[in-house]
C-alpha cells in the first residue's frame, strides 16, 4: 500500500489539532490581556494601555470586516436569485409573445379565408405580399393537376418519376402556406382595435369557434400589450 495513503490523513489530523490549539491559545491570550489590563494589581505585569487599545481596535476591525464579508455574500446570493428570476420573466415573456403571435396568425388566416369581403381594409398592407404567394401556390397546384393527369396515362416506371415530381410540388404548396401564415403572424395588424372585426363580432357573423378565439384567447394579447 502507498505510504502516502497513511501519511496524509495523519498529517491532516495533526494540522487540525494544531489549529484548534492555536485558536485556544489566542482566546487565552485575549482573556489574559483584558484581565491584566482591568486589574490594577497586575498592571505592572500586563500590557500597556496603548497596546491593549491597539489590540481592541484590531479585534473590532476584524469583527467589522467579517460582518461586511457576510453581508456581501448575502447580497451576492440575493443578486443571483434576482438574476435567475429576471431570466425566468424574460423566458416567460418570450413564450407569451410566441403564443400570442401564433394565435394572431391562426385568427387572421381564418378571417382572410372566410371573411375577406367583410374586412378588406384590414389586409390592405399585406395584400401584395399575400397575392404573390397565392399566385405561386396556384401555379404549383396547376402543375400538380397536370402531373396527376399525366400519371394516369404513364407506365409503371414513368409513374415513379412523376410521383416524385408531385411530392416535390406538394411541398412547395405547403411552404407557400407556411409563408402566408408567417406573414399574418409577423404583421402589425391591430385586431383588437379593428372596426371591421368589431362589426363582424357585433353582427354575429363570425363562426362560433372564431368568435370564441376572439373573445377568449386574445385576452392574452391585451395582457401582453399592457405589460
Nearest-angstrom CA–CA distance, 52 and 30: 10
Q: What local confidence, expressed as pLDDT, does residue 223 receive? A: 46
**68-77, 191-200, 212-221: least confidently modelled range:** 212-221
Domain boundaries, the chain: 3-83, 84-226
Average pLDDT, rounded, for the chain: 79
The mean per-residue pLDDT over the stretch 64-72 comes to 78
Per the CB < 8 A criterion, the answer to whether 109 and 181 are in contact is: yes
Q: What local confidence, expressed as pLDDT, does residue 143 receive? A: 94
Nearest-angstrom CA–CA distance, 123 and 73: 57
CB atoms within 10 A of CB 204: 8
Residue 112: all three cell numbers together? 382572410
42: pLDDT strictly greater than 90: no
The mean per-residue pLDDT over the stretch 104-111 comes to 88
Q: Which residue has the cell 491532516?
A: 12
Cα R_g (the chain), whole angstroms: 40
Residues 6 or more apart whose Cβ sits within 8 Å of residue 158: 151
Residue 102: all three cell numbers together? 401564433
26: pLDDT strictly greater than 80: no
The residue with greater pLDDT, 98 or 69, is: 98
First to last CA, the chain: 68
Amino acid at each position: 500500500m502507498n505510504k502516502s495513503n497513511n501519511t496524509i490523513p495523519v498529517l491532516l489530523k495533526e494540522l487540525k489539532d494544531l489549529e484548534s490549539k492555536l485558536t485556544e491559545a489566542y482566546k487565552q491570550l485575549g482573556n489574559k490581556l483584558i484581565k491584566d489590563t482591568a486589574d490594577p494589581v497586575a498592571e505592572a505585569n500586563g500590557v500597556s494601555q496603548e497596546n491593549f487599545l491597539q489590540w481592541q481596535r484590531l479585534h473590532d476591525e476584524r469583527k467589522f470586516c467579517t460582518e461586511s464579508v457576510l453581508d456581501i455574500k448575502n447580497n451576492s446570493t440575493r443578486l443571483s436569485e434576482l438574476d435567475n428570476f429576471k431570466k425566468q420573466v424574460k423566458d416567460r415573456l418570450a413564450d407569451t409573445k410566441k403564443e400570442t403571435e401564433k394565435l394572431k396568425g391562426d385568427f387572421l388566416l381564418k378571417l382572410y379565408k372566410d371573411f375577406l369581403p367583410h374586412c378588406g381594409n384590414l389586409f390592405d398592407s399585406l395584400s401584395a405580399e399575400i397575392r404573390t404567394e397565392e399566385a405561386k401556390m396556384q401555379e404549383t397546384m396547376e402543375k400538380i393537376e397536370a402531373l396527376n393527369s399525366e400519371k394516369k396515362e404513364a407506365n409503371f416506371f414513368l409513374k415513379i418519376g412523376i410521383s416524385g415530381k408531385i411530392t416535390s410540388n406538394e411541398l412547395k404548396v405547403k411552404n407557400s402556406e407556411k409563408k402566408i401564415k408567417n406573414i399574418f403572424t409577423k404583421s402589425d395588424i391591430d385586431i383588437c382595435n379593428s372596426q371591421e372585426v368589431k362589426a363582424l363580432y357585433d353582427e354575429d357573423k363570425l363562426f362560433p369557434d372564431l368568435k370564441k378565439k376572439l373573445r377568449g384567447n386574445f385576452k392574452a394579447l391585451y395582457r401582453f400589450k399592457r405589460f
